Amino acid sequence: MRNSPKASAALLAGALSGLIILGGFFTLTSGEWPIAIIDVFKIILAKLGLYAGSVRDVEAAIVWDGRLPRFLVALLVGFSLGGAGTIMQGIFKNPMASPGVMGIDSGAALGAVLALYAGLAAHSLFALPAAAILFAVLTLVMVFAIATSRGQTSVATLLLAGIALNLVFGALTSFVITLSTREFDVGRVIVTWLMGDLNNRSWEHVGIVFPTTVIALAGTLFFVKDLNILMLGEETASNLGVNIKQARNALLLFSSIETGGAIAVSGVIGFVGLIAPHMMRSLIGPDNRKLVFFAGLLGAVFIIYADLFVRLIVRVDLKIGIVTSLLGGPFFLYLIIKYRKRFEYM
């Protein structure tokens, strides 16, 4: 007897949640200083005021100030990137769409790099995320300005404009890196950040990415029915009463906020927003009301286990962004080959 769709979705949600919990277990207990899981629970409960027993100060600092914020940042960044990719693929009806294709990744990266180079990030923890989110939104505005003519916005032109801005912002970022090489410490920080990294993440970083994730998720859910209808085509959506311009602009704005918030605390981690929605869509279908959550959960699994891989298994200082790119690059090529018959050549 075949499982019902609801039962299958519940089973998948349980599996993804289980992987996240297991990843949290290894993140909190493993490392150069192994800590028993019972001691981890005692530390967390003690910090929450729910345990009056004694805990070791060193272990409390490792768990509460180091490993737990790092795990939560990985969880929130992965969920944000998965959700942002879901929005992009839904709007453009293209499995190869992602924030990177629209140039939002590159825009956010350029903003953050400028904040690092100008020294603003050294004076305020919120300067870098503010710059990343601001440039992500500005990139979106620029893409729409380029692609809009006489009040009409072409989806194909949006993608082309995004690709063009991707190249421009990438070149500008490289130029800033070249300037920063005169100051070794600044240049090293910029290059490390561009590779994607979760080292030394704190509760302040959690405080940055948590609100952007929640705000963007709430906004996406508000427009998620419109997103489902938009996937049927703009003419059909218009006939069904959807305000196409408002819904599309709002959804892309929320995607930019998610992407900017994630990049602000983790650096550039590519392809998660491409892979997670595509894989989940093949398992649970195209309904974005479910897909945004499932893609977010799978994105979180990717980041959590990529972080565990670079922290516990690899002996060299490998960055998360390198791992996701090594996985995502071949996957992107696979999608190109799979869908190449859809393209028309002139």
Would you state the pLDDT for residue 21?
A: 97
Q: How many structural domains is the chain composed of?
A: 1
Q: Which residues contact 133 (CB under 8 A, 6 or more apart)?
A: 108, 111, 212, 256, 257, 260, 261, 264
Q: Which residues pair with 152 in a beta bridge?
A: 149
Per-residue pLDDT tens digits for 180-204? 777 767 777 788 888 888 988 999 9
Range among 91-105, 122-136, 331-345 with highest mean pLDDT value: 122-136
> Distances from the Cα of 110 to the Cαs of 60, 106, 278, 300, 329, in angstroms?
37, 6, 27, 24, 22
Per the structure block, which two tokens stand in for 241?
Answer: 């009463």
Please check whether residue 168 lies inside any domain of the structure: yes
pLDDT tens for each residue of 108-155: 989 989 998 888 877 887 888 889 889 988 998 888 788 777 767 676
**What value does the mean pLDDT take over residues 313-318?**
75
Is residue 345 in some structural domain? no
Q: Which two tokens stand for residue 33?
A: 């200083």
CA-CA-CA-CA torsion sign (214, 209, 132, 336): negative
Q: Output the pLDDT for position 213.
A: 96
Residues 6+ apart with CB under 8 A from 231: 90, 93, 286, 288
Question: What pLDDT score does 227 carry?
Answer: 94
| CB distance 191 to 322 below 8 Å | no
Q: From start to end of the chain, where are the E strands?
A: 148-149, 152-153
> What's the CATH code of the domain at 61?
1.10.3470.10
**β-bridge partners, 153:** 148
Residue 161 covered by a domain: yes
Residue 171, domain member (yes or no): yes
Please indicate, yes or no, if residue 343 is contained in any of the structural domains: no
pLDDT, position 343: 44
User: What is the model's pLDDT at position 137?
Assistant: 87
Given this model, what pLDDT does residue 1 score?
A: 44
State both tokens at 18: 């289980």
Residue pair 20/303 in contact by the 8 Å Cβ criterion: no
DSSP string, 80-134: HHHHHHHHHHHHHT-TT--TTTTTHHHHHHHHHHHHHHTTHHHH-TTHHHHHHHH
Q: Report how far residue 191's alpha carbon sits from residue 172's, in angstroms, rounded to the nearest whole number.
A: 14
Determine the pLDDT at residue 275: 87
Q: In this predicted model, which residue has the larger pLDDT, 39 or 104? A: 39
Looking at residue 194, its pLDDT comes to: 83
- 206: Cα separation from own chain's centroid: 14
Span 51-77, average pLDDT:
93
HSE of 22, CA atoms in CB hemisphere, 13 A: 9
The percent of the chain in helix, strand and coil, each rounded to the nearest 5, is: 75, 0, 20
Residue 70 lies in a domain: yes
Containing domain of residue 104, as a range?
Answer: 5-336
Mean pLDDT of 227-251: 88
Per-residue pLDDT at 267 exceeds 50: yes
CB 207 within 8 A of CB 242: no
For residue 151, being part of any structural domain is answered with yes
Q: Are 87 and 320 in contact (CB under 8 A)?
A: no
Q: Please calculate the CA angle 62-68-72 and round it to the nearest 5 degrees.
A: 155
Say if 346 falls within a structural domain.
Answer: no
